[in-house]
Amino acid sequence: MLRSLSCSMLVFAVVAGCGNSGPAVVPVEGRLTLDGNSLANKSLMFTPIESTPGQGAGGMSDAEGKFTLKAMVPGATKEYEGVIPGRYRVTVFEPLLSGDVAAAETDGEPAAALAPDMSRRKSEISAIYRTEQSPLIVDVPESGGEVVVELKSNPSS
């Protein structure tokens, strides 16, 4: 009996110690602009540089250019809103699928699947912002907060 109780307590202690509270992230919201105007429906990737730990974070700008970052955690079973404080290189790119796929009209019948428009469109984003050499650097403070990611149509000027 005592042996069974000891084994049960040991198993409980091991299982209780296996909890993962996730990375120590801080909430970060922001605004994406191009030449001072809101830039809608773009994907952002925050890649850690220098000694910043973690895998980075990503987000998508809404119709008003606003975004919320979500930490990338390998093997995670839930989303972690925010990012680990530190320095990040930001890349901005067109999403693979546009959000403007309209639903088909039906009279209560199942709708046919609609394929998104995969035609090549000219990107609003200069190529330099879409590469690992992006000049966009953002420092996320220990308290998190708001960041503005400002792009220029002609980044060399």
pLDDT value, residue 77: 82
The predicted model scores a pTM of 0.72
> How far is Cα 42 from Cα 98, in angstroms, rounded to an integer?
9
The CATH number of domain 24-95+123-157, selected from 2.60.40.10, 2.170.190.11, 2.70.70.10, 3.60.15.10: 2.60.40.10
pLDDT at 5 over 50: no
Average pLDDT over residues 109-137: 79
Q: Which of 36-40, 64-68, 108-112 has the lowest mean pLDDT?
A: 108-112
Identify which of 19, 20, 59 has the alpha carbon closest to the alpha carbon of residue 41.
59
Instruction: Render pLDDT for 10-49 as a digit per residue (tens, 0 to 9).
Output: 444 444 445 556 678 999 999 999 999 999 999 999 999 9
pLDDT at 61 > cutoff 80: yes
**HSE-CB of 154 using CA atoms within 13 angstroms:** 1
pLDDT band, very low/low/confident/very high, at 109 (cuts 50, 70, 90): confident
Give the count of beta carbons closer than 10 Å to the beta carbon of residue 150: 13
Short-list 90, 82, 24, CA closest to 53: 24
Model pLDDT for residues 76-105, shown as the tens digit of each residue: 888 899 999 999 999 999 886 655 544 455
Q: Taking the domains of the chain in order of start, what are their residue ranges? A: 24-95+123-157
Distance of alpha carbon 149 from alpha carbon 138, whole angstroms: 8
